[in-house]
Amino acid sequence: MKKWIVAMRLRTLPLALASIGMGVFLAVSKDKFDLTISIMCFLTTLSLQILSNLANDYGDSVHGADHAQRQGPQRAVQAGEITSGQMKTAIKIAVVISLALGIALLFVSKIPIQVFISFLALGVLSIVAAILYTNGKLPYGYIGLGDISVYLFFGILGVLGTFYLQTKYIDWTMLLPATSCGLLTVGVLNINNIRDIDSDIEAGKRSIPVMLGKYKSRIYHLLLLTIAMVTALVYISLHFVGIKHYIFLFSLPLFILNAVRVYKRYDPQTLDPLLKQLALSTVLFVALFGLSINLS
């Protein structure tokens, strides 16, 4: 059981919860909240994240991105803890669970049939995206498209989808906090890819940091965090006037600290702890943002 828990990469799960949490907080600010829908959103997103982690473990092993010289946590298939066959079976089970939870979520949300079909299509697309990130003949994570995928699924789809299922409408200014969530999650992926630049080059994986280089990828990281904070500020400025609605800025020093440390650290081993730090900082940001927009 321990090896499977490690393969699921539990430390990445808070990021999945952050996007759903943001959507729930935004719905609450509009006086809309459904506990059952919220729980089902959390469970569906967790299952998709676990599916993605298992698929990435398998895909990176097959394509050679996971090898003995790679920095960071050892992957289960590459280490021989789990066989390729076992992982493929686990991926299939995760697909079934994700699909079942997604369909159950749509049923309890009681949305029109046209919207139901649209959300079901997005759910299937999410499952396909989770698998093809590092799998297939041309995995899109190997050609620099991983950042866009993470932004869309952890930002736009995660936040706006959760908000819609709660409220049954879309306020397009919600794109601003959705962008904040998406970019902060991309930031976590970026640290991971900066850490793995050398091994990714060896495996032929062209992540954004591989294409930008070690210095420019750190500037890119700074831009991700900066734009995430700016979009959150713009949303608050559009909807609120009191200073108390800017409580979320108490999380800002954590992002400044992360950006500075990523900029200064070039040893891959010293970068790894910054993934967890940024992930937890993102969760705190979402919690404080939720408090900010729900203060009367």
Q: What is the pLDDT of residues 200-222, one digit of tens each?
A: 898 888 999 999 999 999 999 99
Interacting residues of 213 by C-beta distance below 8 A, sequence separation 6+ = none
Which residue reads 């010289």 in tokens? 69
Total Cβ atoms within 10 A of residue 128: 12
For residue 75, the model assigns a pLDDT of 65
**Token pair in block for residue 154:** 């952890």
Among 283, 161, 179, 171, which Cα is nearest to 234's?
A: 179
Q: What percentage of the chain carries pLDDT values higher than 70?
A: 96
**Token pair in block for residue 112:** 């029109």
Q: Does an H or E element contain 170, and which?
A: none
The 3-class SS string of 20-86 reads: HHHHHHHHHHCCCCCHHHHHHHHHHHHHHHHHHHHHHHHHHHHHCCCCCCCCCCCCHHHHCCCCHHH
Q: Where are the domains of the chain?
A: 2-293
CA pair distance 153, 44, nearest whole angstrom: 13
Give Cα 218 distance to the centre of its chain.
19
DSSP 8-state class, residue 112:
-
CA pair distance 45, 37, nearest whole angstrom: 12
CA pair distance 111, 108, nearest whole angstrom: 8
For residue 203, the model assigns a pLDDT of 81
Model pTM score: 0.92
Confidence of residue 9 (pLDDT cuts 50, 70, 90): confident
Per residue in 115-161, pLDDT (tens digit) is 999 999 999 999 999 999 888 788 898 898 999 999 999 999 999 99
Per residue in 37-74, pLDDT (tens digit) is 999 999 999 999 999 988 888 887 876 555 455 455 66
For residue 3, the model assigns a pLDDT of 81
For residue 199, the model assigns a pLDDT of 86
CA-to-CA separations, 1 to 6, 44, 108, 253, in angstroms, rounded? 9, 22, 32, 38
| DSSP3 helix / strand / coil % (the chain, rounded to 5) | 80, 0, 20
Longest dimension (CA), the chain: 57
Question: Is pLDDT above 70 for 168?
Answer: yes
For residue 63, the model assigns a pLDDT of 63
Average pLDDT over residues 257-267: 94
| 3-class secondary structure, 213 | coil
Average pLDDT over residues 8-20: 85
